[in-house]
Amino acid sequence: MFAIVGLGNPGKLYEGTRHNVGFDVIDLLADRNNIRINKIKFKSIYGEGNIGDNKVILLKPQTYMNNSGMAVLDLFNFYKLPIENIIVVVDDIDIQFATIRIRAKGSAGTHNGMKSIIYHLQSDNFPRVKVGIGQKREGQDLADFVLSRFSKDEREKIDLAIEEAALAVEAIIKDGIESAMNQFNSRSKKAQE
């Protein structure tokens, strides 16, 4: 079994913001795989279903970003999943806008949601799919930037990146992390050239 955790902030106020692309990817995965996100547990809303031959849980923590780890720890403790079967989908300001990057493990960087997950799990040994949300303007507050919405032009590009991230998650589950990294990280490199 796999758990796919999309990071974001709950509530209408945060819908469509840069920080909520993780939620957007979960919604698309639910749609693509006929999974209804309608259960409440683990300080989250979630749904259960299948991607390929694998049972999956699609999870949207409702703890607000900085406490995402509390929700992930609840899920981890309940299902006793291998940590490498928890796939986190996260926004990233350090990769090129509207590209994605898959990592098998690693540090949180500047991302408070990831810091919370690593702190609560006491491990950074879980895969993550990062979606580039752009970089803040000179002098702009980081919190203001990540809670801002995309321009119309950016939205079209980010929607394609969200689709790519959903495909990447499906590839990790069906083909394994190495295969997915080879396939999608090289695509992102090509997009940057």
- Residues belonging to the active site: 19
- Of 10, 113, 98, the closest CA to residue 65 belongs to 113
**Cα separation, 49 vs 133, whole angstroms:** 29
Residues in contact with 136: Cβ distance below 8 Å, sequence separation at least 6, in sequence order: 93, 142, 144, 145
Q: End-to-end alpha-carbon separation of the chain, Å? A: 37
Cross-sheet strand order for the sheet of 2-6 = 39-41, 44-51, 54-61, 2-6, 86-92, 128-132, 100-103
Cα–Cα distance, 186 to 171 (Å, whole number): 14
* Pairing status of strand 128-132 against strand 100-103: antiparallel
Q: How far apart are CA 190 and CA 81, in angstroms?
A: 34
79 φ/ψ angles, rounded to the nearest 5 degrees: -95, -10
